[in-house]
Structure 1
Amino acid sequence: MTDETANQGIPEPEGTAHIIETEYEIGQDNVDGSVGPFGFDIHNPVFLISGLSIVAFVFYTLALPEQSGAVFSWLFSAVTKGFDWFFLGAANIFVLFCLFLIVTPYGSVRLGGADATADYTYVGWFAMLFAAGMGIGLMFYGVSEPMSHFSSSMGGVAMEEGARTDWAPLGAAAGDTDAAIRLGMAATIFHWGLHPWAIYAVVALALALFSYNKGLPLTIRSAFYPIFGDRVWGWTGHVIDTLAVFATLFGLATSLGFGATQASAGLNELFGIPLGSTTEVVLITAITAIALISVLRGLDGGVKVLSEINMGLAFLLLMFVLLVGPTMVILTGFADYLAAYVQYLPALSNPVGRTDTNFMQGWTSFYWAWWISWSPFVGMFIARVSRGRTVREFVVCVLLIPSLVCVLWMSVFGGVAIQQVVMDGYTAAQDAPLELKLFKMLDALPLAGITSLIGIILVVVFFVTSSDSGSLVIDTITAGGKIDAPVPQRVFWCIFEGAVAIVLLLSVGGLSSLQSMVISTGLPFTVVLLVMCWAIFRGLQSERAQLR
C-alpha cells in the first residue's frame, strides 16, 4: 500500500496517526499471499510463527509433563497474584468505555457508513447475539458457580479460609441465608454480565468499524491502523495477530478441557464409564473428529446446523428446569439477583485493598483472562452480523442481550440447585465436584436420565461448534483477514486445538494447566485491548468529522 493511498481524504489532527477515510485495496504483499504445497496460506509470518510455536508447545508438554506442569503452576500463581489488579482495572475500563460510547455523540456513527442498512432484522440479530452468549462455560458453571459462591459466602467469610472481607457489612452476615444467596448470585452475575460482554463489545466494535467503515481486512491488526499506520502491515501487525492467535487457541483449549471433564463426569454418572484422563482423551479425540467433519462441510452445512440444534436443546432444557423447579421463586429471584448485582458491583469490581484473594485471583482474574482470550473468537462473530447498526444500538444490545441470557441461565440452574439445599435439604449438588454439580442437580428432578443425557449432548455439541468456529477465526487471523482461506489450514487449527487441550489435561496440573495458559496469554492481550479502545476512539473521531 502506498503512502498516497493511505493518506487520501484524511484530515490529520496534529500529533496523531493517519486514519483511512476511504476504502482501499490491500496490496498483493498484504493479503493475497501464496498458497503453499500443503494448501496453507503463508502470506505473512503469522501462520508460521503461531503454527510452529503451537507444535513445539505440544511436543514440549508431552515430552516433559512433570517439568511443564511445574511451569504452568508457577505461571498461574505469578500472573494471578501479580496482576489481579491489572485484570480487574482493565475490565472496569472496558465497561466505562462502552458506557461512554452510549452516551456521547460517537454513538450515532453507523457501522458500514451513514447509508448502511442492517443485514439482519432485530429478531434475527438478537437470536445470534443470544447464540454468542451460550457455550461450554454456561454448561460447566451454570450450577457450579452459583452453588460455590453461595456456600462460601455464608457467614460473611472470605473465599480464603479464615480471612474476613467486606462481605459481612454488605449483608452476608453469619447465618443469613438470604443474604448469602443474593451475594452468591451477584458474584456469579458479575462474572457473566457487563464486564465480559464489554470485553467482547470492544473487539467486535473495532473489527466492525475498521472493516465496514475503513475497508480494512477483518483481522485484529486492522484496528490499530489509526495508531501505527502502515506499520500494521509489518512486524507490529504480525505481533498483534500472533498474540490474538495464542489467546484464542488457549481460550478454546480451556473450554474444551472443561467440556471434556464435564462430559466424562456425566457419562460416568449415567453409564458408569470410568473417569480419568483416558476417557477425557478419547472424548476430545472423538469430538475433534466430529468438528473436522463440520469443518469440511463448511459454515452453513456444519456449524450453522449444529448451532441451531444446540440452541433448541438448550432452550428446552432451560424451560424444563424452570417449570419443574420452584418456578415462582426462580422468576422473582431473577429480578432480585439483578438488584443484588447492582448493589454489590462496586465492591466486586474494586481492585484495591481486597482480602478475598482466592475469589479475586482464582475466580475473577481467571475469568477476565478467559473472556479476553475468547474475545477475538466471539468479537469476530458479532462483528460479522452487526453491519448497519449504530454504535449506540450495537453497544447497548451486545452488553444487555447476552448478559440477560447468561443471568437467566444462571438464575434458573443455579437457583434451582440452591433452593434444593435451602428448601429440601438436598446437598448432593453442593457436595459434588464442579464438573458433576449439573448432573447432581438434575438427579433430583423428574426425567433425570433424559435431561442428563441432553446435558451431555449439549456439552459435546458446544464442544464441536466451538472447535469449528474457533478454527475458522484463527484461520482468518493467520490468513490476514481472509474468510475463504484454504480448508487444510482450518483443519490444521482444528486438530491442534484438540491436541493442546489433550496435552494440557495430561500434564501434571490437568485443568489447572489449562487455566495457567489462558491466564498467561490473556495478560499481554489485555494490553492489546486497552490500546484498541484508543484506536476505536480515534476511528470514531474521524467518522464524526466526515459527518460534519
Structure 2
Amino acid sequence: MTIKPPLTDLEIKVGEEGFYQGFNKGATIGSKAIIILLVLWAAVFSDQAGALLLKIRGWSFEAFGPWYIYAMAFIVFLCLALALFPATGKVRLGGPDVEPEFSSFSWFSMMFGAGIGIGMLVFSTAEPIYHFASNPDTIVGAVAPKSAETMRSVYKWAFFHWGLTAWGCYGLVGLALAFFSYNRGLPLTIRSGLAPLFGRRLEGVLGDLADIAAVIATILGIAVTIGYGISMFASGMHSMVGASWMVNAEGSPSLAAMMISLVLVMGASILSAASGVDRGIKWLSNINMVLSFGLLLFFLIFGAPGVALKSLFLGIWDYIINFPVQALTYWPTSDVEPAATLYKWQSVWWTVFYWAWWIAFAPFVGLFFARISRGRTIREYIMGTMVLPSLMCFIWFTFVGGTAINLELSGVAGGSILATGQEGQLYAALKLMVGSGVFKMLTGLVAILLLTYLVTSADSGVLILNTILSGGDAGKKAVAHIIFWGGALTAVIGVLLVAGGLDAIKSAMLVGALPFSAIIVLMGIALVKALVRDALREKNREVDGVGNPAGEIK
C-alpha cells in the first residue's frame, strides 16, 4: 500500500501591499464584518439584543448540551492516550534536536496566566462556596447541603470543572497546531490543524471559515473572561475606596465602575501587545506567578491548611475515581425533580457553560501554547498543559475556597460569604481573616494580580488574533492592527455589558463557541491520522531498509 506524503505547505494568500499587507483578506474582512455587525446590533438595539441572546442561550443549552459533554470527554481521553502511548509521547514538537525556546518556569507561567488565571481568582472562592450549598450530590439527597459532609462532593465537582477537561481543550488545539507547524512546516494558524482531513481545500474559503470561527470564538471567549475579571476588579476597588457610585442597588459593581475598569485594562493591554510576547507578555506572566504564589502563601499560613490539605488529597482521589462517570453523564431537561434541577445545574449554571467557555477560549490559548511550546515532547507538553495546571487549580480551590467554607462552617462568617456575589466572595473571606489595614493591603494585591492577569489575557488575545489572520505569521504586527483588535474587543465587551451585563456576554460566547467545538474534534481526528500515518511510514522504512521517500513507500 502506498502512503501519500504529508502536506508540508499550505498557501494562504495574504495582501502584498496597503493596510492588509501580510493579512489574509478573506478571513480578516469576514471577521471584522461579523464583529462590527455584533457591536452595532448590541449598541443600537441593546434591549432586544440582550433578550434575544438570553433566548439563544437557553436553546443552545437544551439542543447542544449532550454534544458539549461528549465532545469534551473525547478531547480529554485523546490527550491522555497520546501522552501515555510510547510512540506518540516521545514525538518532539519541531524535531528530535530542537531545544525549548523558554525556560520551564516562564513556559508554565505564560500558559497558566493566559489559560485560566482570572477565572481562578474569581471562582476559587465562588465555586466551592456555591457547591457547598448546592451540587448534584446535595440535589439528589446523598449529602446535606452546607454541612461538613458536603466537603468531598464540593471538590469532586469543582475539580471536574477546572481539571483535565479545561486544560485538555486548550492542550489539544495547541498540540495540533504545534505539530502541524513545527513538524510539518505548515502555517501556525487554525486551518493547519485540519490539513490531514481537508488538504489544499483549506487554502480557499473553507480555510477562511475555519479561521473566522476561531477569531469570533476567541473574541467572545476573552470577553467572558475579562467581564468576570473587571467585575471582580471593580468590586475590589470599591472595597478599598468605598465610593458609592461603584456599586448598584444590589451591591454588585456598577456599570460605570466596570466600564472604567474595562478602559484601564484594555489600554494597558494594547500597550503590552505592541511590545510582543518576548517582552510585555513574558514579564507580566512572571509577575502573575510571583503574586499568585504570594497570595496562596497567605492562605497557606493564615487560612485553614488542615482543611485544605485534607480536601486536596481526598478531592484528587474522588476526582480520579469519579471522572469517567462524570465526564460521560448528561442530565436531560425534565419537569420532574430532582431531574429538573440536575439539568439546570449541569447545563444552565455550571458544566455545559464551562465547557463552552473553555472551547471559546481554546483558539486563543491553544495557539498561544503552540507559539511557546516548540521543543517539547508530546508527553512533556501534555504534562505541562494539562496535569500541572490542573494541580495548580486544585491547590488554589482547596486553600482559598476551603478557607471560605471553613469560615462558614465554624460560624465566623455567619452566612456573609454565602450572601455575597461571586465577584466579592474572595474579598469577603479576606475581610474576616485580617484587620482593616491588612485587608486593604491584601485587596490591593488581589487587584494588582487581577490587573496583570487581565492585561496578559487581553494582549495575548490581540496578538493571537493577528497571528490567525496573517496566515500564521507570529511576527510583530503594525500598531494599527493591534489597536483595531484591542478596540474591537473593548467595544464588544462594552456594548454587551450595556445590553445585558455578564449574562449577555456569556450568551454571545455560547453562540461563538459552537462552531469551534466541531473544529476542535476534527483537529483531534486529524492529529491522530497524521501520527498514525507517520508511524506507518517509519515502520515501512525500517522494513525495506532503504529510506524511501514517503510517497514511494509500499
Q: After TM superposition, is the score higher than 0.5?
A: yes
Shift of 1:523: 1.2
Deviation string, structure 1 residues 200-222 (Cα, Å, up to 9, x no partner): 11101101100010000100100
1:190-205 matches, within 5 Å, as 190-205=160-175
Identity among equivalent pairs (%): 32
Shift of 1:130: 4.0
Aligned-partner Cα distance in 2 for 1:543–1:290: 45
Shift of 1:11: 5.2
Shift of 1:173: 2.3
Shift of 1:375: 0.8
Residue 418 (structure 2) aligns with: 430
Aligned-partner Cα distance in 1 for 2:370–2:125: 30
Residue 479 (structure 1) aligns with: 470
* Contact 1:183-1:344 at 8 Å conserved across structures: no
Structure 1 residues without counterparts, runs of 5 or longer: 1-9, 159-164
Aligned-partner Cα distance in 2 for 1:176–1:221: 48
* Contact 2:106-2:282 at 8 Å conserved across structures: no
Residue 12 of structure 1 is aligned with which of 3, 28, 31?
A: 3
Matched, 1:359 2:341: no
Counterpart residue identity of residue 283, structure 1: S
Aligned-partner Cα distance in 2 for 1:459–1:175: 31
Aligned-partner Cα distance in 1 for 2:508–2:361: 13
Count of residues in correspondence between the two structures: 516
TM-score by length of 1: 0.89
Residue 36 (structure 1) aligns with: 18
Residue 492 of structure 1 is aligned with which of 450, 465, 484?
A: 484
Residue 298 of structure 1 is aligned with which of 276, 281, 303?
A: 276
Aligned-partner Cα distance in 2 for 1:520–1:502: 18
Shift of 1:41: 4.1
Aligned-partner Cα distance in 2 for 1:263–1:131: 16
Deviation string, structure 1 residues 414-436 (Cα, Å, up to 9, x no partner): 11100111124412211101111
Change (3 A) 1:320 1:302: same
Deviation string, structure 1 residues 412-459 (Cα, Å, up to 9, x no partner): 111110011112441221110111111101111222111111112222
Counterpart residue identity of residue 345, structure 2: F
Q: Secondary structure at the match of 1:438?
A: helix
1:300-379 matches, within 5 Å, as 300-353=278-331, 355=339, 356-361=342-347, 362-379=349-366
Residue 501 of structure 1 is aligned with which of 493, 497, 513?
A: 493
Shift of 1:329: 2.3
Change (3 A) 1:522 1:183: same
* Contact 1:42-1:48 at 8 Å conserved across structures: no
Larger deviation, residues 446-455 vs 59-68: 446-455
Matched, 1:94 2:75: yes
CA RMSD of aligned residues (A): 2.1
Counterpart residue identity of residue 83, structure 1: F
Larger deviation, residues 78-87 vs 379-388: 379-388
TM-score by length of 2: 0.88
Aligned-partner Cα distance in 2 for 1:131–1:96: 25
Aligned-partner Cα distance in 2 for 1:248–1:176: 37
Residue 408 (structure 1) aligns with: 395
Q: Secondary structure at the match of 2:71?
A: helix
Matched, 1:390 2:372: no
* Contact 1:36-1:42 at 8 Å conserved across structures: no
Shift of 1:177: 2.5
Q: Secondary structure at the match of 1:510?
A: helix
Residue 177 (structure 2) aligns with: 207
Counterpart residue identity of residue 92, structure 1: A
Residue 212 (structure 2) aligns with: 242
Q: Secondary structure at the match of 1:480?
A: coil
Shift of 1:519: 1.1
Deviation string, structure 1 residues 102-131 (Cα, Å, up to 9, x no partner): 333322322212333333454554444444
Larger deviation, residues 202-211 vs 373-382: 373-382
Larger deviation, residues 344-353 vs 395-404: 344-353
Residue 189 (structure 1) aligns with: 159
Change (3 A) 1:389 1:289: closer
Residue 4 (structure 1) aligns with: none
Aligned-partner Cα distance in 1 for 2:113–2:235: 25
Aligned-partner Cα distance in 2 for 1:176–1:255: 28
Residue 152 (structure 1) aligns with: 134
Residue 260 (structure 1) aligns with: 230
Residue 112 of structure 1 is aligned with which of 94, 98, 103?
A: 94
Aligned-partner Cα distance in 1 for 2:17–2:297: 49
Shift of 1:146: 0.7
* Contact 1:207-1:383 at 8 Å conserved across structures: yes
Larger deviation, residues 213-222 vs 339-348: 339-348
Change (3 A) 1:175 1:54: closer
* Contact 1:40-1:486 at 8 Å conserved across structures: no
Residue 427 of structure 2 is aligned with which of 428, 439, 453?
A: 439
